[in-house]
Structure 1
Amino acid sequence: MTSLSIKKRYADTRNGQMHYRYALPSSPVAPPREVLVFLHKSASSSASYEKLMTHYATRGHPCFAPDMPGFGGSFDPSPEAVEEIETQGMRWYVTIFVDILKQFLASYTNGSGGTSSVHLIGHHAGAALATEMAAVYPSLVKSVCLVGPSIMSAGDRARMRDKYIAPFNRPVADGSHLLKTWNYLRDMGIRGGCGPGSGSDDDDDDERDLYLGLHQREALDHIRAWKGRNQIYGAIWRQDGEKYLRLIQCPVMAMCARDDTLWPYFENVQKVREDVAMVEVKGANFTLDRDVEGIIRDWSTFILDTL
């Protein structure tokens, strides 16, 4: 039996090459499972979804996880593209993502059109992207799972913009931006319960290694995306998330951790849509790595309920 592996490819867009990860079932599943699409947060990359992709691909779901423009292995927006982002907001990202998703679906089905809709999961910025994508392309999206959604009033969005829009880790000659990025991630909850006192010495060593690996991966992604982070944040804080959430026609699930920076706004989702399935998870701003089991437990049931 062929073991499953996550592979990487590039897709051409009019602005540049988009990088994405994908995983296909190692053997056919009957009936075929629907495609899952994973949209990462700022300033991570599609690498943050590898654990979830591995789980679901081994259970028969084709998985697709792109890097946003300005993040991971994808192109950096040109000055002309940045002007378009400032004018079009999140719709600029949505249009590009839908284009490369359709390319992936066509290649996966050999152009047969056999897969017509997908399940979306988006984290933070990816949740904002998934919200607008589902609202604007209802025939393409079968369900939406929002991990750390940012449904806020205009005033709250303005305050978040003022707090997070500054390029805090712009490269500087003395390299101090590298440590600043490392410390920023620590303060955002990447460490969790790792460290001395959490168990035996061996357990501490294993947990510390896992933490350092995650911290290192996220630091590299955040350092790379210091410009892309601000570009998409500007679009997010201009997005009327309430409007798009109301327009979504498919089932919606929302997840958030109490120590996530967006937890204070989590209940806004249900104020807008009482039919949204609300789930509390763990892991601060890094639920995708720190509470994989929690996501799988509830999202799997949610997906099955939409069939």
Structure 2
Amino acid sequence: MHYVESGDGEPVLLLHQTPRSWTEYLDVLPLVGARHRAIAMDTLGYGASAKPEGPHCVERFADGVGDLVKALGLDRFHLVGHHTGGVIAVEVAARFQDRVASLMLSATAFVDDEKRGGTKGHGRIDHVDPKPDGSHLRELWDRRRGYYRQGEEAALTRYVIDALTVLDRVEEGHESLRRYAMEPRLRHITARTLAVCAPEDHYSLPSLAKFAAALGCETRVLSGGHVAAPEQVPAEFARTVLEWVGRSHDPGPGPGVM
């Protein structure tokens, strides 16, 4: 398992979307690391982490998180997940329960029967067929260009790099998400939970209400951004993480109280 960390103190573990890597948190990591031990890992099968054979699934991704938690000796930690990383975070929080001090789900899909019912509205998200002339590189760029604003080309370049490292399996993260049985796992989550989303991320925004209903958690809409919110509004994203983590020292309402 590959990870990058910044800072000292209470650990905050950051899980990225697929087919990304820890670089999704490139600008968030030092901001969170100014007050905590911020750890951004590469999900099993992505980035510089091991790439095992066999089908990916959310449970196997969570196994990789568990291996890293054990290797680093994290007895208790805060957990943040973005998009697919958020779904993985649900599974990790259900397994580790009270060892997860707080949970922040960013633009996380609420995987219910409607989500598992097919690819309606999605289709293949990142798949491209390699071409001898390299035109598939432009196609990969164009598939995500609409999610990034002018001036955010560096972040889009990082996405292309990450996707190219797993090009033969680039869709499997999305497919594994749509096979995940989330509902029975939610009842095992004991961590204080916040669900957030960027205002332009219309894929994920409807899930906020579903998580609020299922977990009784707080929700928040960021001031800007799309599917790449940690890269597009890193200061606000990091501030939201720090505020939520900081509430663990607050003797306020317990988990599930809005």
Deviations for 1:232-268, whole angstroms, at most 9, x for unmatched residues?
2222111122332232001001111121121233321
Q: Distance in 1 between matches of 2:120 and 2:180?
A: 12
Residue in structure 1 matched with residue 189 of structure 2 by the alignment: 248
Deviations for 1:103-142, whole angstroms, at most 9, x for unmatched residues?
123xxxxxxxxx5200000000100000010001114311
Aligned residues: 247
Q: Distance in 1 between matches of 2:2 and 2:239?
A: 29
Residue in structure 1 matched with residue 159 of structure 2 by the alignment: 218
Whether the 8 Å CA contact 2:98–2:191 is kept in 1: the answer is no
Question: In the alignment, which of 20, 24, 28 is matched to residue 7 of structure 2?
Answer: 24
Deviation at 1:298, TM superposition (A): 2.7
Residue in structure 2 matched with residue 122 of structure 1 by the alignment: 81
Q: 1:44 and 2:2 equivalent? A: no
Q: 1:180 and 2:133 equivalent? A: no
Aligned partner of 2:60: which letter?
Answer: W
CA RMSD of aligned residues (A): 2.0
Deviation at 1:165, TM superposition (A): 4.5
Q: Distance in 2 between matches of 1:267 and 1:227?
A: 35
Distance 1:21 1:164, change over 3 A: farther
Q: Which TM-score applies when normalising by structure 1?
A: 0.74
Deviation at 1:36, TM superposition (A): 0.6
Residue in structure 2 matched with residue 280 of structure 1 by the alignment: 221
SS at structure 2 position matched to 1:190: coil
Residue in structure 1 matched with residue 253 of structure 2 by the alignment: none
Distance 1:253 1:160, change over 3 A: farther
Residues 13-162 of structure 1 mapped to structure 2, 5 A cutoff: 18-25=1-8, 33-59=9-35, 61-78=36-53, 81-82=54-55, 85=56, 89-105=57-73, 115-160=74-119
Whether the 8 Å CA contact 1:118–1:140 is kept in 2: the answer is yes
| Ranges of 4+ aligned residues in structure 1 off by more than 6 Å | none
Residue in structure 2 matched with residue 190 of structure 1 by the alignment: 148
Question: Rg larger in 1 or in 2?
Answer: 1
Whether the 8 Å CA contact 2:94–2:185 is kept in 1: the answer is yes
**Alignment gaps of 5+ in structure 2:** 250-258
Aligned partner of 1:169: which letter?
Answer: V
Deviation at 1:271, TM superposition (A): 2.0
Q: Distance in 1 between matches of 2:52 and 2:172?
A: 9
Structure with the higher helix share, 1 or 2: 1
SS at structure 1 position matched to 2:103: strand
Whether the 8 Å CA contact 2:43–2:64 is kept in 1: the answer is no
SS at structure 2 position matched to 1:263: coil
Distance 1:164 1:244, change over 3 A: farther
Deviation at 1:228, TM superposition (A): 4.0
Residue in structure 1 matched with residue 252 of structure 2 by the alignment: none
Q: Identity percentage over the alignment?
A: 22
**Alignment gaps of 5+ in structure 1:** 1-17, 26-32, 106-114, 195-207
SS at structure 1 position matched to 2:194: strand
Higher normalized contact order (CA 8 Å, seq sep 6+, divided by chain length): 2
